[in-house]
Amino acid sequence: MSFSKIEKIHFVLNPNAGNGAPSKIFHQIEEELVRNNVEYTVFKSQGEKDIFNHLMSDEIPECDVICAMGGDGTIHETANGLMQSGKASDLPLSVIPSGTGNAFAQTLGELKPKNAIQHILRGESMKIDAMEIRQGPKISYAVNIIGWGMASRVNQISDQLRILGGIRYNIASLIGIATMKKKRLILSMDEEVVDEDALFFLALNTVYTGKGMKMAPDADFSDGLIDIIMFKSATKLQVVNIFLKLFSGKHIFDPRVTYKQVDSFRLETQGDDLNIDGENQGSTPIDVRMIKKCITLIK
């Protein structure tokens, strides 16, 4: 850990995240910025990839840190933009929890926006990892999750239930279980090859996903490892039982669940939808490897 004085912050804000929460939350933390004589600028997204394109541009004002305000999708756009633009090497990232899921912020351990800005102003930093995703010639980065099968399907359902707030993830999970179907999974990781029908695959850099689901209890932002959660076969009743254990992390002890840590993997099936950092984007096949400590996070 190291500390640096924070005097200038550039906020990248998604006003549509969390049913409009970021704009309301910004007004709350603005008091702290003024009280601490912090200079700040704000970029508001008007649509998909606006934040990513902004960070790829030369329009970033001079600042000590980029602060993402929105849900996990906003954090993805920000981290991906920093990595792909090359700015991650000298421009730190910070996060004010403002979405409905806030899995990244929950893994950091702070879900209250006013507390989060106070932590950021202290300037404590750490180096975190990012997953590099290769989809043919395209390269992108994820700091939270990559999901396949039910993990992708549930995210698609939850997108249609945004009006319900955070509970939408739990409802979407139950709908996903009720309508679940196996798909062929061809997965290579370490020296293991899985080629069979499966229900669910998730690669994580964070402990939490969805709304409070402790999906990967041993995950660490900076250990250089990808945490893999997978179940190949289970009845609907068994999946419900696993789902109920997700909030305590005890699902990893279920005999139907595979939990392991790797530094890279490959999904070889063709044309399967993916959930990348909470966004429905991309498809298989993909090659993924962990890039160690490539992003500076002000926490």
What domains can you pick out in the chain, each with its CATH number?
A: 2-130 (3.40.50.10330), 141-292 (2.60.200.40)
The pLDDT of residue 148 is 96
Percent of the chain at pLDDT exceeding 90: 75
Query: 237-281: per-residue pLDDT in tens?
Result: 999 999 999 999 999 999 999 999 999 999 999 999 999 998 888
Q: What is the pTM of this model?
A: 0.93
Q: Between 217 and 160, where is the model more confident?
A: 217
Share of the chain above pLDDT 70, in %: 99
Cα distances from 33 to residues 4, 17, 39, 40, in angstroms, run: 16, 22, 7, 8
Q: What is the pLDDT of residues 192-209, one digit of tens each?
A: 999 999 999 999 999 999
pLDDT of the residue at 178: 85
Average pLDDT rounded to a whole number, residues 67-88: 96
Query: 163 pLDDT exceeds 90?
Result: no
Instruction: Tell me how far apart the alpha carbons of residues 36 and 39 are, in angstroms, rounded to a whole number.
Output: 9
CA 299/CA 289 separation, integer angstroms: 24
Averaged pLDDT score across all residues of the chain: 93
Q: How far is CA 94 from CA 81, 217, 256, 269, in A?
A: 14, 23, 37, 35
Q: How confident is the model at residue 1 (pLDDT cuts 50, 70, 90)?
A: low
Tell me the two tokens of residue 41. 């600028």
Contact predicate 239/199, CB 8 Å: yes
136's CB contacts (< 8 A; 6+ apart) are none
Q: Which region, left, alpha or beta, applies to residue 99 given φ > 0 means left and ψ of -120 to 50 means alpha? A: beta
